Amino acid sequence: MNKRIIALFLVIMTFPVFLRAEQPLETLLLEVKFLEHDGSSEKSVAVSCDTLSLIKGVPVEAFCGNLSLDVTYRSRSDSGLSIALSHIPLPPRSDPHMNRLQSQIGIPYIVDSVLVKGERIFKVLFTPLAFDSLQSDCDFSHKEEDVFFFDPSASFDIYFIPNSLGDIHWNNIRDHLEMELDRFNKIFSFTQPGKINFYLYPCDAPYYDKFDGRDFGIHPARNSIYFEYSHQNSGMAVEAVNLIKLYRYWGYSPRLMAVGAANLTDFHIFYAREYKRTEGLYPLEDMLVSLDFDNLEDTHKKRIQAASFIAYLSAQMPVDKFRNLYIQATDLSLKEDLEQAAGMRFAELEEHWLNYVDTVTFAYGLYNFYAQRALIQRDMSEALFLYEKALEEEPMDSAMLSNIYNVYYLSGYYDKSAETIRKLSRYVKEPGYYLTLGNMLLADGQEDSALYYYNKSIESKEGFDEIAVYKLGQLEYLNGNYAQSKEHFLSLLDSAESIPLKVDGHIYLGKIYKRENKPDSAKTQFTLALNGSKNLLSQFPDNPLYNMRAGEAALQLGEPQAARDYLSLAEFVEMRPFYLGRVMLTLGKTYDVENDRENARIYYNRVLELPSAYLDKQEARRLLEQPYSI
């Protein structure tokens, strides 16, 4: 097996054991409160607050107010507790401070004058709140040597765990981050002062604090971003990249300003209008102070709303004037600063912004741009939502119809995909739609209709369509018509150009020879299938479908452990339910062959829980009743 394949398999096999802490970890809850003093009174007002969970002996990175923090809960005794604290303010002051605190629960440690804006003075209170415990399932740390690897791009050093999703998808991640950063730089004419360190964690790690409850952490002083990139967490933390740029160029500003500006590259006008139409927007007054902003429950709504407001402001003034507003503003002065910059009272400003949300136009093509962006970020639901909205405006747009039928397929909505292809075929005469429609109908369980379109596809291609021939052979086999199935697969192997399809043909033909009591011929076919898969994997070791086919062939050769190695890789990488169901079905079979009925049933049930293809669901139901055997 290829060395890279072995390494990836070892990561997957050891992942759960390596990550799971045997005992709960002792933690300290540390409140970090950012306060603003307006100079006209003795009172300071909390404008931002966060609570850090500190594992004993483990350094945690965080950002609060205008401070990049490194905090370690070191020890506790009868006389108190010990904390190591390093804090670095944002520009224009970037002088680091290090302290070793001896404190007690409930006793704050005060750092004064961390930020001065005119007469406004900010300070930070660090208050130990309580001892707690934490069960962490993620033991990768960017602080440890040789844990993360990195590859550079033009603007980023992208760190990843070898053979994780971040490694496998590295090229897509790099291209997307570079494109988004370029878009953002053009808005404010930013240049690149240094590379951003982008850490792709494969799991939810306790080594960084999440910004405003989001899925990323930032440390502007180090120009670093920490982000969980896993099956459970889609996205690419584009907002984090933009925040790093803003904080390092322009320094601290209230959340409304910073988060709003950081999300200008999102589809904010469309979503703000949708929120306004369906459930209403937050009063702007509730977003002025960062603490109030953070306490708003709907994270997406407040980000989008802030971005639409900043977009409105930016449209009313040149970049330099907006920059001055950003730099000048504080949480307690923001209302006054906005009134002065806009030349109108706050209520009037809010009314003008809401009118902007209602009336500003955007190019229809942005639906497709942001739907494609969502697909890159593995967010199928947002992509579908945007395509469906686009089709409400232009129901006969063939490009949008072509895109959405594919997203329906990727999401497992095979009936909707088929319906959309039928609609599209009325306006665009394309013989290839016969095959695609047949595939979607079969995946949805409409066998007779699928057969009709497979035959139509073969007719339209002068008597041979290799995929349609494969599907016909598969259907005949699963319906017990082995002689007809054999004819189709022999024809496929004789004429097909696709190597993966030939591998499938060898597997089915081998199963037919077994039924004909020709074990030597069967073994020859399975060996050809496995060797063909290995040749493909030597060029594309991460390809889930090549690993899936190698697993299917190895299983038929009586090698269930080798089969499971390949199939586990496919399960880890594959995200399309159409194929994931087939992978899990075969994994269930490997367990049945090893007489592990419990795990076999788990995988067969997973096939049924997924929007898997109809034939895979049908076979899974049979195998839940009667175990699989070779």
How many Å apart are CA 626 and CA 566, to the nearest integer?
A: 25
State the pLDDT at residue 22.
Answer: 53
State the pLDDT at residue 2.
Answer: 39
State the pLDDT at residue 429.
Answer: 77
Beta bridge mates, 208 = 61
Q: For 451, phi and psi rounded to 5 degrees?
A: -60, -40
How many Å apart are CA 66 and CA 115, to the nearest integer?
A: 7
- Asked whether the CA dihedral 97, 101, 105, 109 is positive or negative, the reply is negative
Do residues 308 and 268 touch, judged by C-beta distance below 8 A? yes
How many Å apart are CA 257 and CA 303, to the nearest integer?
A: 10
What three-state secondary structure class fits 208?
Answer: strand
| pLDDT tens figures, 127-164 | 999 999 988 888 899 998 899 999 999 999 999 999 89
- Asked whether the CA dihedral 348, 354, 358, 360 is positive or negative, the reply is positive
How many Å apart are CA 415 and CA 625, to the nearest integer?
A: 27
Q: For 32, phi and psi rounded to 5 degrees?
A: -115, 115
Across the range 567-588, mean pLDDT stands at 95
Percent of the chain at pLDDT exceeding 90: 82
Across the range 606-626, mean pLDDT stands at 96
- Who's near 622: CB < 8 A, 6+ residues apart? none
Radius of gyration for the alpha carbons in the chain, expressed in angstroms and rounded: 29
Which residue ranges make up each domain of the chain?
Answer: 25-134, 139-252
The token pair at 628 is: 């699989």
Is pLDDT of 578 > 80? yes
State the pLDDT at residue 232.
Answer: 85
Lowest-pLDDT range of 1-10, 287-296, 495-504: 1-10
Do residues 418 and 399 touch, judged by C-beta distance below 8 A? no
- Who's near 423: CB < 8 A, 6+ residues apart? 401
Across the range 14-19, mean pLDDT stands at 36
Beta-carbon-side half-sphere exposure of residue 602 (alpha carbons within 13 Å)? 7
| Peptide bond connecting 92 to the previous residue in cis, omega within 30 degrees of 0 | yes
Which amino acid is residue 223, in one-letter code? N
Beta-carbon-side half-sphere exposure of residue 274 (alpha carbons within 13 Å)? 12
Distance of CA 570 to the CA centre of its chain: 18
How many Å apart are CA 568 and CA 554, to the nearest integer?
A: 13
The token pair at 129 is: 């709140």
| pLDDT tens figures, 278-307 | 999 999 999 999 999 999 999 999 999 999
Beta bridge mates, 323 = none
State the pLDDT at residue 462.
Answer: 76
Q: For 230, phi and psi rounded to 5 degrees?
A: -150, 180
Distance of CA 576 to the CA centre of its chain: 14
Is pLDDT of 413 > 60? yes
Across the range 35-50, mean pLDDT stands at 85
Closest listed residue to residue 224, CA positions, set 201, 204, 202: 201
Residue whose token pair is 């995988």: 603
The token pair at 121 is: 């003075």
How would you class 179 by CB atoms within 10 Å of its CB: exposed for 0-12, middle for 13-18, buried for 19 or more? Answer: middle
Is pLDDT of 8 > 80? no
The token pair at 507 is: 């597997």
State the pLDDT at residue 1.
Answer: 36
Is pLDDT of 13 > 50? no
Is pLDDT of 25 > 50? yes
Is pLDDT of 423 > 80? yes
Across the range 254-269, mean pLDDT stands at 97
- Who's near 219: CB < 8 A, 6+ residues apart? 61, 62, 63, 68, 69, 208, 225, 226
Do residues 611 and 413 touch, judged by C-beta distance below 8 A? yes
Is pLDDT of 94 > 80? no
Residue 7: which pLDDT band, with cuts at 50, 70 and 90?
very low
Q: For 69, phi and psi rounded to 5 degrees?
A: -120, 145
The token pair at 453 is: 């379109």
Across the range 235-242, mean pLDDT stands at 94
Across the range 338-364, mean pLDDT stands at 97
Cα angle at 594 between 593 and 596, to 5 degrees? 105
How many Å apart are CA 527 and CA 516, to the nearest integer?
A: 18
- Asked whether the CA dihedral 32, 33, 39, 42 is positive or negative, the reply is negative
Mean pLDDT of the chain: 92
- Asked whether the CA dihedral 172, 178, 184, 187 is positive or negative, the reply is negative
Beta bridge mates, 73 = 83
The secondary structure of residue 71, as a DSSP letter, is E
- Asked whether the CA dihedral 5, 6, 7, 10 is positive or negative, the reply is positive
How many Å apart are CA 213 and CA 232, to the nearest integer?
A: 16
Across the range 424-434, mean pLDDT stands at 83
Is pLDDT of 205 > 70? yes
- Who's near 462: CB < 8 A, 6+ residues apart? none
Domain 139-252 sits in CATH at: 3.30.2010
State the pLDDT at residue 239.
Answer: 97
Give, to the nearest 10 degrees, the angle between helix 398-411 and helix 365-376.
20
Is pLDDT of 397 > 80? yes
Across the range 530-539, mean pLDDT stands at 97
Residue 23: which pLDDT band, with cuts at 50, 70 and 90?
low
Sheet holding 216-219, edge to edge: 149-152, 156-160, 196-201, 224-228, 216-219
How many Å apart are CA 249 and CA 624, to the nearest integer?
A: 60
Is pLDDT of 616 > 70? yes
Is pLDDT of 18 > 50? no
